[in-house]
Amino acid sequence: MEAESTENAIETRGLTKRFGRFTAVDSLDLEIARGEIYGLLGPNGAGKTTTIKMLCGLLKTTDGRAQVAGMPAGDRRASADIGYMPQEVALYEGLTVHQNIRFFGRVFGLSGRQTDEREEELLEFVNLAEWRDVLVARLSGGMKHRVSLTCALVHSPALLLLDEPTVGVDPELRVSFWDYFTRIKGRGRTIVITTHYMDEARRCDRIGFMRDGRLIAEGTVPEIQSLAGKEDLEDAFMVLAERSEGGEAA
Amino acid sequence: MRSPRFLTVTSRVFKELRNDRRTLALIVIAPVFAMFVFGLAFSGEVHDVPLIVVNQDQGAAPVPGAAIVSISGKIIANLDTKTLSISTESDPAKARSDIEDGDAYGALVFPEGFTASVVSEPSGATTSIELLLDKSNINVATAITQAVNEALLETMDQAGEKPPVTVDMVAVFGQNAKFMDFFVPGIMAFTVYLITTLLTLITFVGERTSGTLQRMLATTLSERDIVMGYAVTFSLIGMGQALLLLIIAILVFDISVVGNVLLAFLVIALLAVVSQAMGILLSSTARREAQAIQVLPFVVLPAFLLSGIFWPIEAIPSWLRPLSYLVPPTYAVDASRAVMLKGWGVSEIWIDIVALLAMAAFFLTLAVFSLKTRKD
């Protein structure tokens, strides 16, 4: 293996994904440091989910390379360090909350007791302790999202890949999610998160704007604001998107 | 020591089934239902076939001056009343029209002077009776013909007449075997094959559409772990079903089992492994749960018709027969039948076991591969 910087949790070079003639992700270069919260922003179809899926090894890359947790993306040894929360709920509806969490805990090699301890702590945090023995099928959409997040966190992964974790979650809980993210970041965890909410972007250490599979701007929020000359992130995105298109035309 | 990772999948699938009463009911009730439906409907014997007897014979004295006897009456008395439901009629034309109207399947007509002609004919000459048959239903027509023939032989035997040649049947296997004895291994294999394939197919399409499959694949579980986890689950369920079927077959249908039942279970478990691998494989052709139903005819029909459950493979046209050997239940039916009816052991059925093992290896590999190719 080539010598890679061990500082970074994620490094990609020219990462590309094509589905037939459609290019979903177009030579993406990312460097995400350990202990960083990185937000991937952009409209639907920008390539955020495809990027996340390549990083956790669910999609093969067409071109370029990606290092995740010090290993090539898709290497199963890296999986133990990754907590992936997909966009869709992706839970066993026929199992209870507890049974779902237990399954994902066991899959990552946790003992029954370890899983139970983590479960108690996490259900307290997502406010679902009373729903422990209820079938997931009976829960509301927002509750399912919270259980899904719990399943991604159960094995205390060093790197979290969260695909729109706050969709359908009420504002109050969204705030507590972010408090939690900041807290575990303090313990050296890296979090990559995709989101539509610009207010959430402000809580990221750095954000990357994606459009048509490409990273059109990257930096801290103040950096992005000054780059675009706009205070509002949504306006900033529009300006940067236009600029990138102009650059293409030139 | 930590148990193998695939067992987490096994235990999860079992929990899902335990929570899901409907599916649990399918697993338990379907075999029971299948056994009763097949067992009662296909008892293999024809009963109570309406047959009209027209006896115009008046009887005759065997030697002049002796008492009058009626050979036709004796034959009628010897007709098997379990197979036949006999009514009498005096007019042959009326009997014929009854058959034409569908009120009877056959009519047996003894002509006038039948006994006289039998008694007076020199030996070697023959006298005939007429049997009108509705041959549009072959099974029933055959049953009537057989019953009439048996009654004739019986009557000759009572009269001390012997046919010139007789056949002595010696049962090498299956002494006192009934049709159900032959049928039960087939029902076992078919039910387990069908339910296992269906259940895996539906469960796995669910895993694909809900995103849980992707989620599992993003963990430390490998494609092989997932397939293995499912294989263990469904082979255990398959064995449970086989056990249930066998208990009903023995208690209710009174079948006799000669050989080692455990060996038959092993064969059925192998079939379940092959079936679940096929289910996973087929699930890759369906994008929604509803689409899974479209593959159903291709799962059910070949097994139903070609695997020797209802009729022997020898009864399948020779050009079609190679296909029989591509259908997994064929080997399980053959092997479990040989074990249960003939008492054969591994040394005799090893070819079936090898075939099932090869199919299991083949389909399991393909199933694992089908999960991998989703990553493109």
Residue B224 at interface with chain A, using a CB cutoff of 8 Å: no
Q: What is the pLDDT at residue B173?
A: 77
- Decide if B375 and A80 are in contact by the 8 Å CB cutoff: no
- Decide if A58 and B220 are in contact by the 8 Å CB cutoff: no
Q: For residue B254, give the amino acid letter.
A: D
Q: Which of B15, B20, B212 sits opposite A91 (nearest CB)?
A: B212
Provide the domain limits for residue B146: 49-158
Our measurement of the distance from residue B228's CA atom to the centroid of its chain's CA atoms, rounded to an integer in Å, reads: 31
Residue A39 within any structural domain of the chain: no
Segment among A23-27, A72-76, B108-112, B163-167 with least mean pLDDT: B163-167
* Chain A residues touching chain B at CB-CB below 8 Å: 53, 56-60, 74, 76, 79-80, 82, 84, 86, 88-96, 99, 103-104, 106-109, 135, 151
Residue A68 within any structural domain of the chain: no
Beta strands A37-41 and A206-211, pairing class: parallel
Q: What is the pLDDT at residue B135?
A: 87
Specify the DSSP class assigned to residue B60.
B
Interface of B with A in 168-197 (CB under 8 A): none
- Decide if B210 and A99 are in contact by the 8 Å CB cutoff: no
Residue A105 within any structural domain of the chain: yes
- Decide if B219 and A96 are in contact by the 8 Å CB cutoff: no
Give the number of domains in chain A: 1
Residue B237 at interface with chain A, using a CB cutoff of 8 Å: no
Same-domain status, B227 and B130 = no
Query: What mean pLDDT comes out for the span B250-273?
Result: 88
B209's CB contacts (< 8 A; 6+ apart) are B287, B288, B289
Q: What is the pLDDT at residue B125?
A: 67
- Decide: B59 and B143 in contact? Cβ < 8 Å: no
**Which tokens belong to A226?**
């000054």
Boundary residue ending a domain (B130, B158, B186): B158
Which H or E element spans position B301? helix B296-306
Which residues lie across from B149 on neighbouring strands? none
- Decide if A89 and B210 are in contact by the 8 Å CB cutoff: yes
Residue A246 within any structural domain of the chain: no
How many residue pairs from chains A and B have C-beta atoms closer than 8 A? 75
B102's CB contacts (< 8 A; 6+ apart) are B134
Tens-binned pLDDT, residue by residue, of chain A (250 aa): 444 445 789 999 999 999 999 999 999 999 999 999 999 998 888 999 999 999 998 999 999 999 998 889 888 888 889 999 998 889 999 999 999 999 999 999 899 999 999 999 999 988 899 999 999 999 998 899 899 999 999 999 999 999 998 887 888 888 888 988 999 998 989 999 998 788 888 899 999 999 999 999 999 999 999 999 988 888 998 899 888 887 654 4
* Cross-sheet strand order for the sheet of A71-72: A22-33, A8-19, A63-68, A71-72
Contacts of A115-118 with C-beta under 8 Å, sequence gap 24+, read: A115/A154, A118/A153, A118/A154, A118/A155, A118/A156
Q: Three-class SS of residue B84? A: strand
Q: What is the pLDDT at residue A4?
A: 45
Give the minimum alpha-carbon distance from B233 to chain A in angstroms, rounded to a whole number.
15
Q: Is the dihedral of CA A197, A198, A203, A205 positive or negative?
A: positive
* Of A54, A19, A47, nearest in space to A210 by CA: A47
Residue B1 within any structural domain of the chain: no
Q: What is the pLDDT at residue B44?
A: 62
Same-domain status, B24 and B57 = no
Q: What is the pLDDT of residues B44-101, one digit of tens each?
A: 677 888 999 999 988 888 877 788 888 899 999 999 888 899 999 999 999 999 999 9
Beta strands A37-41 and A190-195, pairing class: parallel
What is the number of alpha carbons within 13 Å of residue A117 lying toward its C-beta? 7
Mean pLDDT taken over chain B = 87
Same-domain status, B211 and B345 = yes
Same-domain status, B128 and B207 = no
Give the minimum alpha-carbon distance from A81 to chain B in angstroms, rounded to a whole number.
9
**Which tokens belong to B220?**
């430390």
Most distant pair of Cα atoms in chain A: their distance: 61
Residue B163 within any structural domain of the chain: no
Same-domain status, B180 and B314 = yes
Q: For residue B123, give the amino acid letter.
A: S
Residue B169 within any structural domain of the chain: no
Q: What is the pLDDT at residue B375?
A: 60
Q: What is the pLDDT at residue B376?
A: 59
Residue A152 within any structural domain of the chain: yes
Q: Three-class SS of residue B29? A: helix
Same-domain status, B97 and B231 = no
User: CA-CA distance, A217 to A34, in Å (whole number)?
Assistant: 21
- In this structure, the number of other CB atoms found within 10 A of the CB of residue B89 comes to 17
As to burial, measured by CB atoms within 10 angstroms (0-12 exposed, 13-18 middle, 19+ buried), residue B305 is middle
* Cross-sheet strand order for the sheet of B106-110: B84-88, B49-55, B106-110, B130-133
What residues of A are in contact with residue B221 (Cβ under 8 Å)?
A: 107
Residue A96 within any structural domain of the chain: yes
Residue A203 within any structural domain of the chain: no
- Decide: B270 and B196 in contact? Cβ < 8 Å: no
Q: Three-class SS of residue B52? A: strand
- Decide if B375 and A59 are in contact by the 8 Å CB cutoff: yes
Listed in sequence order, the DSSP H helices in B42-86 are 71-78
Interface test with A, best of B21, B210, B212 (most A CBs within 10 A): B212
Give the number of domains in chain B: 2
- Decide if A86 and B214 are in contact by the 8 Å CB cutoff: yes
Residue B205 within any structural domain of the chain: yes
* DSSP letter string, B88-130: E-S-HHHHHHHHHTTS-SEEEEEPTTHHHHHHHSPTT-----E
Residue A210 within any structural domain of the chain: no
User: CA-CA distance, B124 to A46, in Å (whole number)?
Assistant: 99
Q: What is the pLDDT at residue A198?
A: 81
Q: For residue B108, give the amino acid letter.
A: L
What residues of A are in contact with residue B15 (Cβ under 8 Å)?
A: 95, 99, 103
Residue B165 within any structural domain of the chain: no
pLDDT at B310 over 60: yes
Interface test with A, best of B7, B12, B13, B209 (most A CBs within 10 A): B12
Which residue in A has a C-alpha nearest to residue B204's C-alpha? A92
Same-domain status, B365 and B275 = yes
Give the minimum alpha-carbon distance from A51 to chain B in angstroms, rounded to a whole number.
13
Which H or E element spans position B216? helix B212-217
Same-domain status, B325 and B201 = yes
Same-domain status, B33 and B53 = no
Q: Which of A84, A96, A109 sits opposite B218 (nearest CB)?
A: A84
- Decide if B218 and A58 are in contact by the 8 Å CB cutoff: yes
Q: What is the pLDDT at residue B373?
A: 67
Query: What mean pLDDT comes out for the span B33-45?
Result: 79
Residue B326 within any structural domain of the chain: yes
Same-domain status, B273 and B307 = yes
Same-domain status, B184 and B324 = yes
Same-domain status, B220 and B366 = yes
Q: What is the pLDDT at residue A3?
A: 44
Our measurement of the distance from residue B269's CA atom to the centroid of its chain's CA atoms, rounded to an integer in Å, reads: 20
User: CA-CA distance, A136 to A140, in Å (whole number)?
Assistant: 9
Boundary residue ending a domain (B127, B158, B189): B158
Q: Three-class SS of residue B51? A: strand
**Which tokens belong to B119?**
């008694």
Q: What is the pLDDT at residue A34?
A: 93
* DSSP letter string, chain A: -----SSEEEEEEEEEEEETTEEEEEEEEEEEETT-EEEEE--TTSSHHHHHHHHTTSS--SEEEEEETTEETT-HHHHTTEEEE-SS----TTSBHHHHHHHHHHHTT--HHHHHHHHHHHHHHTT-GGGTTSBGGGS-HHHHHHHHHHHHHTT--SEEEEESTTTT--HHHHHHHHHHHHHHHHTT-EEEEEES-HHHHTTSSEEEEEETTEEEEEE-HHHHHHHHT-SSHHHHHHHHHHHHHHHHH-
- Decide: A191 and A156 in contact? Cβ < 8 Å: no
User: CA-CA distance, A227 to A214, in Å (whole number)?
Assistant: 17
Boundary residue ending a domain (B158, B183, B200): B158
Provide the domain limits for residue A151: 82-156
Q: How confident is the model at residue B2 (pLDDT cuts 50, 70, 90)?
A: low
